[in-house]
Amino acid sequence: MKRSDSTTLKQGITSNAGDTVIENRWQALRKYTDARIGMGRVGVSQPTSDQLQFQLAHACARDAVNKAVDWIAIEPALGALGVPVFSLKTRAPDRLTYLQRPDLGRQLHQGSADFLTRWRHQHDNPVDVCMVIADGLSATAIEQQAVPMVIRLVDDLRSSSHRCSAICLLRQGRVAAGDEIAQIMKAEFVVMLIGERPGLSASDSLGIYFTYRAHVGCSDAQRNCISNIRPKGLSFEDASQRLVWLIDEAERLQLSGVQLKDDSYLDDALSNCSTNQGNFLVDKRNDRT
């Protein structure tokens, strides 16, 4: 037997003549990730199935970016939460302009700004948490993840010392548009749920940007981000718990962004430590005293 034939039999699966798929040693790791690893090869090419999956993923990513969100289906589900729901838009008049002019997606349309101003003058109650849902770069993420994520957030906030005062549905919106909304409404916290830029392994990823006392001109350094919220990524439960923890800490420290570190996982880690095993941080601290 030729050396090349021997290698093929050891590394791959032989079907019909000339159709040998040579497996990759990393293929077993694919059950842990959507990343395209361990695909194997046929000669010098990718297997047909992987090539077709790549083309499908690319098409899904393009659709997520270009299509419009079905806001009509989203609004009734959120209205049932008992929180005021506002329909707003930015200065980007359509999807193509939104993609070509990021600056217009960061500015509220004058009519929307006037509406919020009138609403704020008519309501004296302070606005605690203002949620903004923006299509961003993935309509798929908003249509699939936004409603269950908001339902979970509103419920968890009610269980804490905070409450959701309003939900804004923002068409053609980018993250910074939430700052203007928060400034007009004089909100203590703004929580922006936005469709994240799709990749070739995930076109349905939702992101959350959280800012304490946001105002026009806030930089990204003043925000905290929770990313990759989707069924195969970060769960709604975990994302909500992390956000509520950040809100509590932001209120205590009166800041958000790079100065507010997400150490929510430390609370769980410390509470889960066995009393028999102890905690090396606490033990060392006790040794010094």
Q: What is the pLDDT of residues 31-89, one digit of tens each?
A: 888 888 888 888 888 888 888 988 999 999 999 999 999 999 999 999 899 999 999 99
Express each pLDDT in 90-126 by its tens digit: 999 999 999 999 999 999 999 999 999 999 999 988 9
255 backbone φψ class: left, alpha, beta (φ>0; ψ -120 to 50): beta
Q: What pTM did the predictor assign?
A: 0.81
CATH 3.40.50.11240 location in the chain: 70-265
Closest CA to 164 of 140, 187, 141, 134: 187
Express each pLDDT in 207-238 by its tens digit: 999 999 999 999 999 999 999 999 999 999 99
CATH 3.40.50.1820 assigned to 70-265: no
Say if CB 86 and CB 169 are below 8 A apart: yes
> Per-residue pLDDT for 143 more than 90?
yes
> Per-residue pLDDT for 154 more than 90?
yes
What 8-state DSSP symbol labels residue 202? Answer: -
Phi, psi of 85 (to 5 degrees): -120, 125
